[in-house]
Amino acid sequence: MGRIEKGEKCSVNGCNMEAARSLNADKCKAAGLNVSSADKRAYICKEHYKDFKKKTKKDKTLDKWRFG
């Protein structure tokens, strides 16, 4: 049983929703999310995950083209 299943809250400052995903904290900070975790992992709710996907879409396509 993982931390999300136990009811972990979103790691973004000012958000108290339940987490839906666990992501690398450095990648979340690079995407512009204000993550407050000191751990390696950041727990993100559905709304912030949508923002994360939108902000990292260009980087993912460039990596796909590069390593194709």
Asked if 28 and 55 touch (Cβ cutoff 8 Å), the reply is no
Question: Is the pLDDT reported for residue 37 higher than 80?
Answer: no
Q: Is residue 55 part of a domain?
A: no
Domain count, the chain: 1
Q: Is residue 66 part of a domain?
A: no
Q: Is residue 14 part of a domain?
A: yes
Give the long-range contacts of residues 46-55, CB within 8 A, separation 24 or more: 46/17, 46/20, 47/15, 47/17, 48/10, 48/12, 48/15, 49/20, 49/21, 49/23, 52/23, 52/28, 55/31
Domain assignment of residue 39, given as a range? 1-47
Q: Is residue 12 part of a domain?
A: yes
Q: Is residue 61 part of a domain?
A: no
pLDDT in tens, 25-35: 999 999 999 99
Q: Is residue 10 part of a domain?
A: yes
pLDDT in tens, 39-62: 899 999 999 999 999 999 999 999
